[in-house]
Amino acid sequence: MERVVLVTGASGGVGLALCRRLLEEDGRIHLCIACRNVQKSEATRDLILAAHPAAQVSTVEVDLGNLAAVLRVARELRCRFQRLDFVYLNAGIMPNPHVNFKALWHGLLTGKLLHMLTTAEGVMTQTDRLNGDGLQEVFATNLFGHFILVRQLESLLCGNEKPSRLIWTSSSNARESAFSLSDYQHAKGQESYSSSKYATDLTSVVLNRKFNEQGLYSSVVCPGLVMSNMTYGILPVFLWKLLMPIMWLIRFFAKTYTLTPYNGAEAHVWLFKQKPEYLDALVKYHSCTSGLGKNYVEPRKMDVDEETAEEFYQKLLELEKQTLERYSDLLD
């Protein structure tokens, strides 16, 4: 039987490049793409089929920041498929980003500029807001919506003949300093994106502990700095065009400047070909590109505390309980 692969955030950037690359690796997979609305889903499907006309590509619509929509799409997927082999949890947002140019200048003077350019530490802030469910929008979209989706799809992911895989798109911007258990939705801070990605790393660690024995394995990847709609939202497009020659030069010193979505999907595709039993649950797999344009994957140990991860997971379960009580009419 063909493997079934679900990709969220598939309409552009790394998600779209990933879909194309997966079909290049194995044209027999059934690819299910999840986008925010019907128009994006159909347009993305047409783009993929133009390059792979014989591919099996289906669509679902879901806004990961809308819990009712997540529960509805999970029910639809349970009706449509008997199992899921891979779920790429790739959808994400970075609303209202701001660049701290004063911090960049200070980094130049103190010799920390390259580190700041590769991790965005101290450089980038976001203005978050509450969504319709009363949750912080970045937390809900980047992490919690995906968490609820995974929990609702356990019957398709666990107990299969072969292991199933969760592959989360994290970031080198995932930093412990931006995350707090007492404010895990990051309502009081200005680094909601970094917090949500660190929370992603914590969640993946615990999911492995809870579900490996049931045949479900979780990994996290970093696509590096990719020029996508999200990135273009940080600075005006004309400024990016002026900076691009410099960024290509920086890649000789910063291997995580993958720059193109195709390069950014390297770690995602590499994991598609690995046996999960031999992977380290405490490692993040980074897409890298050499100065001469060669793609490769670099595993790096994550800076996560396993006790903190467990405490955070329990908080997610409490929030999940509240969610399911609120939307009980959408459950089977």
**Residues belonging to the active site:** 193
Task: Select from 289, 294, 285 the least CA-distant residue to 222.
Answer: 285
User: Who's near 68: CB < 8 A, 6+ residues apart?
Assistant: 327, 330
Between the alpha carbon of residue 18 and those of residues 27, 106, 265, 330, the distances in Å are 13, 37, 5, 31
Structure tokens at 96: 């209202």
Q: Compute the distance between CA of residue 329 and CA of residue 102 in angstroms, rounded to an integer.
A: 51
List, as one string, the DSSP characters of 297-310.
EEEEE----HHHHH
Q: What is the DSSP code (8-state) at residue 226?
A: B
Tally of residues, the chain: 332
Q: Compute the distance between CA of residue 193 and CA of residue 186 in angstroms, rounded to an integer.
A: 9
Structure tokens at 89: 């949890």
List, as one string, the DSSP characters of 127-154.
---B-TTSSBHHHIIIIIHHHHHHHHTH
List, as one string, the DSSP characters of 243-256.
HHHHHHHHTTT-TT
Task: Select from 286, 289, 291, 281 the least CA-distant residue to 268.
Answer: 286
Sheet holding 295-301, edge to edge: 56-61, 30-35, 4-8, 86-89, 164-169, 216-222, 283-289, 295-301
Q: Compute the distance between CA of residue 188 and CA of residue 186 in angstroms, rounded to an integer.
A: 6
Q: Compute the distance between CA of residue 80 and CA of residue 60 in angstroms, rounded to an integer.
A: 11
